[in-house]
Structure 1
Amino acid sequence: MGTIFSSAAALFITVPLLFYILVFTIVKQLTRNHKKALNAAIYLTTFVLVISVHFLIMAIWESSYLFVIILFMLVTAVFFTFLHWKTREEIIYGRVFAGYLRLNFLMFSFFYISLLLFGIITRAKNLIFSV
Structure 2
Amino acid sequence: MGVFSDTLIYVIATLVTVPLIGLYLVYIVAVKSTHNKLFAIKLAVDCTALLFMIAVYFIILQIWGFELIWLFILFVLLTATFFTYLHWKMYEDIHIGKIIKGVWRFQFFVFFFLYFILMIYGLISEIVTKIIVQGN
What TM-score, normalized to structure 1? 0.93
> Are positions 1:120 and 2:112 aligned together?
no
CA distance in 2, matches of 1:79, 1:128: 44
How many corresponding residue pairs?
Answer: 131
Which consecutive residues of structure 2, in runs of 5 or more, have no partner in the other structure?
none
> Are positions 1:57 and 2:56 aligned together?
no
Runs of 4+ in 1 over 6 A off after TM superposition: none
Farther off after superposition, 108-117 or 30-39? 30-39
1:5, CA displacement in angstroms? 0.9
Which consecutive residues of structure 1, in runs of 5 or more, have no partner in the other structure?
none
Greater gyration radius: 2
What RMSD over aligned residues (CA atoms) do the two structures have, in Å? 1.2
> Are positions 1:86 and 2:95 aligned together?
no
% identical equivalent positions = 34
CA distance in 2, matches of 1:47, 1:23: 13
> Which residue number in structure 2 is paired with residue 10 of structure 1?
13
1:49, CA displacement in angstroms? 0.5
